[in-house]
Structure 1
Amino acid sequence: MLSYCTNVHPAEDLRGVLAQFDRYAVPVRERLGADRLGLGLWLAADLARELAEDPAAVKSLRAELLARGLSVLSLNAFPHRGFHDEVVKHSVYRPTWAEPARLRYTEDCAVVLSGLLDDDVEFGSISTLPLGWRTGWTAVDDDRATAAFEDAQEFLADLRDRTGRPIRLAVEPEPGCVLDELPDTTRWLRARVDPDLVGLCLDTCHLAVGFAEPERAVSGIAEAGLRVFKVQISAALHVADPADPAAGAALAEFAEARYLHQVRELGADRVRFADDLPAPDLPRRGPWRVHVHVPLHLVPEGPLATTTEVTRRALAEVDRVFPDRPPHREVETYTWSVLPNRHRQDLVRGIAAELSWVRDNALAMHIGGAR
């Protein structure tokens, strides 16, 4: 079942989450003509803790979902809280996996997800950050993160044994983080994890920003003995000639105060990087990819483009490499409220259009039906 990620909505309490179901998710489902709609649910840390400590509340939330024709297969446990604050930037990477609060949040999410899954779902997935932001990360932090992953795996194994519902942790590489690209991530994980419990979340925007070859990147995951448990279907901005004044002016519209917009420039010898727009120190001699989650169906005016071709190739390669072990798939465009005004649209129409894009451009997936 294809899902959309609810981190696009700002609600951080239960009342707000239920309201977003009625205001957005149900109308999206109805607009698509689907009997069921999948959600990649985001629960802020305080709400995840509240629900984890109250099994009756989780049971009630599951009933609310079922009554609305909604299903939850996955949680997004990357943002801890405050994902729609006025300024987010680097705070989205805290707490890191070296801090106890990250493990606690992840365990709370696992407990909640195990109680929300439909009876016929094979497993639940939880996407999480790639340890933390790279700046200031130390060997001590790495040791603490290793220990936290050991504890997380023990918790997930016990939860699986008690409930019969496997919950799997999916680490999501992101530009600028400790685990920046897929090879970094697979090297770190393969030495530390049980691949039945911990694997990858493949964000196709992040993949594209690093100028990775999708086929090589996905096959490398399988070669490392790991699995893709979740794909976040997303697209980045592509700038063929960042030295073009028109490109600079168009790109400037996407520079905003809430989120980081990491930039990568493809050079003859290496990929250069900047941690945010406007990236004044990059030479502008090669094409840019920019970490802006742009709607999948968006066709920006030239000279900007998007990386949806990378998205298509990555999805096709996941289907080829993991034909009998399909991951969860969710659209994750959380940036609607900060897009340039001319690219915004009604959120229900926008989310439905993105899900339709996936249906039309990746024939192995569909809305509703088998998981």
Structure 2
Amino acid sequence: MQHFPTRLTYCTNIHAGEAWQDHFRGLQEKFPAIKTAVSPDQPMNIGLRLSNQASLALLDESRLQLFKQWLHEQQAYVALINGFPYGDFHQQAVKENVHAPDWTRVERRDYTLRLVSILASLLPEDVDGGISTAPLGYRHWYNGSDESWENAVQQSTAHVIDVVLALYELQQNTGKIIHLDIEPEADGILENGEEFLNWYLNDLLTAAIPAFKKHHQLDDEAADHAIKQHLRICYDVCHFALGFENHQQMLDKFEAEGILIGRFQISAALKGFLSSDEIERLQTVNAFGGFDEPLYLHQVVAKTASGDITRYRDLSDALDLVTDEEQEWRSHFHVPVFLDDFDVLTSTQDDIVNVLSLNQQRQLTSHLEVETYTWQVLPMEYQLPIEESISRELLWVKTELQNLANGAEKNNEQ
């Protein structure tokens, strides 16, 4: 059993900028210190975020070669790209527009195909690569009628299949394995593990297998294998913890159906328990209020003592509509993974340790990507220089993995 993942990284969506020169400048300024702290003697993966604008620029061969040269000098490589945020992600209110354009639009498909081309050029030999992407779209844009919802799912699925066909053709022509990693998220069309699984088995495979048989003359079994090789799940631990999902049960279900994990995104949600004591309850609600900010969506999932779930579109909605029956809140606010104490509040850090343990036992993927993109909107007492913050997160993950490995060795010796 390996002690560490071979490709631990962080997502560069924390570095602001939409133009390629801004993306590149952020890497040049921040990455060397992070690598020195985390992986001084070994090549280090970069979880590259490319906006649509940057993807267009990086198709230029001279820019791409310059970036490759810089990667070589830094002892770095790119095996993962974050293709979820298409446009601006830091300088203005993003909220639900992080999904735009969604998978109903050809712009999303074509952007993703550009990322495929770029990653194919950057990807080292004998390393699989992944491109994370949106969970088809924002569900509240389409939940007005059954027809609107069905049309959105059907059109999105067709565009996803176009990309999966291209990924299969890329493998046939070059031998490189790149997978599209769909990321379930609160208020996405695919909101949780069960919805992803249902869509994959009943919508995607139903449409994709005939497409693969038509375009590549594959039989059902070969088509099923090709699709599952190139369309995987981006398992964001924060998102699954937010919905109170059982990690072992969900991973069991994916494994039973042959659905692969493209990457685990290592992230933590904000958590708080609502006491029956009125003063303590108010303290908890007010503490959540300190994280209410206008840039990103921070959906809240509330749970009662009987296990009933209420979903709020944003933290501000939950603050306005909280009920006496709710006993626990979890908010989609990516907090630092190395912290689990936020005074009155805590985090879902234990979920991360659970998922790391399950992955270490099962070797589901070597891709672990820390994704805390909220540093600039955290309360001031939690803000640190970006290089220090990212390094602390990666080192925390490495320590947890070492602890898990040491524990496994002791158990084997007994």
Structure-1 residue corresponding to 2:373: 334
Q: Are 1:62 and 1:115, in contact at CA under 8 Å, matched by a contact in 2?
A: no
Larger Cα-atom Rg = 2
User: What is the RMSD of the two structures over their aligned residues, measured on CA atoms?
Assistant: 1.8
DSSP 3-state at the match of 2:140: coil
Structure-2 residue corresponding to 1:307: 348
Q: 1:249 & 1:266 partners in 2: Cα distance?
A: 18
Q: 2:366 & 2:37 partners in 1: Cα distance?
A: 25
DSSP 3-state at the match of 1:216: helix
Q: Quick one: which amino acid aligns to residue 202 of structure 1?
A: Y
Of 232-241 and 298-307, deviating more is 298-307
Give 1:13-92 correspondences, 5 Å limit. 13-35=19-41, 36-52=43-59, 54-92=60-98
- How far apart are 1:153 and its partner, in Å? 1.2
Structure-2 residue corresponding to 1:361: 400
Say whether 1:140 aligns with 2:177: no
Structure-1 residue corresponding to 2:312: 274
Q: 1:303 & 1:168 partners in 2: Cα distance?
A: 41
- How far apart are 1:149 and its partner, in Å? 1.6
- How far apart are 1:270 and its partner, in Å? 2.2
Give 1:1-371 correspondences, 5 Å limit. 1-35=7-41, 36-52=43-59, 54-121=60-127, 123-137=128-142, 138-191=149-202, 192-193=204-205, 194-241=227-274, 244-267=281-304, 268-278=306-316, 279=318, 280-284=320-324, 285-321=326-362, 323=363, 325-363=364-402
Q: Quick one: which amino acid aligns to residue 207 of structure 1?
A: F
- How far apart are 1:67 and its partner, in Å? 0.9
Q: 2:65 & 2:300 partners in 1: Cα distance?
A: 43
Q: 1:131 & 1:102 partners in 2: Cα distance?
A: 10
- How far apart are 1:43 and its partner, in Å? 0.5
Q: Quick one: which amino acid aligns to residue 282 of structure 1?
A: V
Q: Quick one: which amino acid aligns to residue 76 of structure 1?
A: N
Q: 1:282 & 1:317 partners in 2: Cα distance?
A: 34
Q: Quick one: which amino acid aligns to residue 146 of structure 1?
A: T
| Residue ranges of structure 2 left out of the alignment (5+ in a row) | 1-6, 143-148, 206-226, 406-414
Q: Quick one: which amino acid aligns to residue 250 of structure 1?
A: A
Structure 1 residues 140-163: Cα deviation after superposition (integer angstroms, max 9, x where no partner)? 111111211221111111222222
Identity %: 29
**Larger helix fraction of residues:** 2
Q: Quick one: which amino acid aligns to residue 214 of structure 1?
A: H
| Residue ranges of structure 1 left out of the alignment (5+ in a row) | 367-371
Structure 1 residues 51 and 174, CA, compared in 2 at 3 Å: closer, same or farther?
same
Structure 1 residues 144-197: Cα deviation after superposition (integer angstroms, max 9, x where no partner)? 112112211111112222222111001100011110010110111134241011
Structure 1 residues 44-92: Cα deviation after superposition (integer angstroms, max 9, x where no partner)? 102112323x344323312211211222110000000101132000110
Q: 2:404 & 2:67 partners in 1: Cα distance?
A: 27
DSSP 3-state at the match of 1:66: helix
Of 200-209 and 163-172, deviating more is 163-172
Q: 1:207 & 1:94 partners in 2: Cα distance?
A: 22
TM-score where L is the length of structure 2: 0.84
- How far apart are 1:33 and its partner, in Å? 5.0
Q: 1:179 & 1:78 partners in 2: Cα distance?
A: 14
- How far apart are 1:9 and its partner, in Å? 0.8
Structure 1 residues 254-294: Cα deviation after superposition (integer angstroms, max 9, x where no partner)? 11000000000112142111010131223252211100000
Q: 1:44 & 1:237 partners in 2: Cα distance?
A: 27
TM-score where L is the length of structure 1: 0.93
DSSP 3-state at the match of 1:21: helix
Q: 1:190 & 1:363 partners in 2: Cα distance?
A: 36
Q: Quick one: which amino acid aligns to residue 272 of structure 1?
A: T
Q: Quick one: which amino acid aligns to residue 183 of structure 1?
A: E
Q: Are 1:359 and 1:365, in contact at CA under 8 Å, matched by a contact in 2?
A: no
Q: Are 1:358 and 1:365, in contact at CA under 8 Å, matched by a contact in 2?
A: no
Q: Are 2:238 and 2:267, in contact at CA under 8 Å, matched by a contact in 1?
A: yes
Structure-2 residue corresponding to 1:369: none
Q: Quick one: which amino acid aligns to residue 40 of structure 1?
A: G
